[in-house]
Each structure stands twice: as C-alpha cells, then as structure tokens.
Amino acid sequence: MAEPRSLRIEKLQSLIRDVPDFPKPGILFKDITPVLEWPDSFKEAVDLMADSLSDLDFTKFCAIESRGFIFASALAQKLEKGVVLVRKKGKLPWKTHRVDYDLEYGQDSLFMHQDALEKGERVVIVDDLLATGGTAGATIDLVHTFEAKVLAMSFFIELRFLNGREKLKGLPVHTVIQY
C-alpha cells in the first residue's frame, strides 16, 4: 500500500536544508539540492507535483530560471508536455518577448523566445519556490504577451508568510511543501 501523501511530504521536507544568511544576511534559504541528489526523493517530488496537474488540459510548462528548469523538465517527461524557458536578459539565443517587473529595490526583466507559445495555448508555470511572487507574476504577464492562457502555477516549495500568491492574479497555485 502506498504511503499517505502527508508522510511522503514529511520525508521530502526532512531533506531540505536551511542555510542562514544566504544569499544575504537575514535570509533563511531553503536548499533543495539534497532532494535532487537522491533519485527516489527527486522522483517523489516530481510525482507529488504531477499529481495536482495530471487532470489539466495544457500543452507546455513555462519554466522559470533556473531551478524551475529542473522540475519542469521532469514534469514534462512524466506528463508528456513541452517546456518553454523563461530567462533573464542575454540568456536566450533567438528573438524574444520581454516583460519588465519591479523588485524590492529596482527592476528586472524576463524573456521568452517569440515562437515559444501560440495564441490561445494553455500552459502551467513551474518553479522550485514561491516567495514574494514577483518573478512568477511577471511570468504570467510574459505568457499573456503571446495571448496564451496560464491554467495554473506549480511550485515545489511555498513560503506562505511572504504572501506570494497575492501577485498571481487568482490563478490556482499547487505546492508540495509549505512553510
């Protein structure tokens, strides 16, 4: 008999390492690399993420740089979908669409290839972690420049105390682990 979902999540959570003051003082970084190091735990993480997406009718994952690439690629393989890369400036080799967004102190930009999505295409946005929601919200805006539709957001971890869901335009948000 399969283990209950809560026990499966608890086992994964025990592998996540807290790194204080990274990347800057005052931040408690959630390091997922121990989950990725073990085939069984990585498979479990992907299986749990896929469970909440398997009934959705979509064609591609939009993967946010860079750890989102890891999860989206594995999910795409499992669910037989395509992957579109969402990257920072200067990282994509072809013509791109761009969206600018505000950071706590300044601005940043995200890019996707101009031929990555078609009008009306249905996608799921994936990243490893939902924190403040700024990058994920900007990714939604970027998808909308194609006149494509975001059906849901999928994250391995969510830091609920940062209220990132508020920037995700009311979309369904699927997470495995929440802090």
The span from the CA of 69 to the CA of 92, in Å, is 14
Chain-centre distance for alpha carbon 115: 21
The span from the CA of 130 to the CA of 45, in Å, is 15
Residue given tokens 């700024």 in the structure block = 134
pLDDT at 94 over 90: yes
Confidence tier at 3 by pLDDT (50, 70, 90): confident
Q: What is the pLDDT of residues 156-177, one digit of tens each?
A: 999 999 999 999 999 999 999 9
Whole-model pTM: value is 0.96
Q: What pLDDT score was predicted for residue 41?
A: 98
pLDDT at 110 over 80: yes
HEC readout, 33-100: HHHHHCHHHHHHHHHHHHHCCCCCCCCEEEEECCHHHHHHHHHHHHHCCEEEEEECCCCCCCCEEEEE
Q: What pLDDT score was predicted for residue 32?
A: 98
Mean pLDDT of 55-68: 97
pLDDT at 105 over 80: no
In words, the CATH class of domain 56-178 is: alpha beta
pLDDT at 106 over 90: no
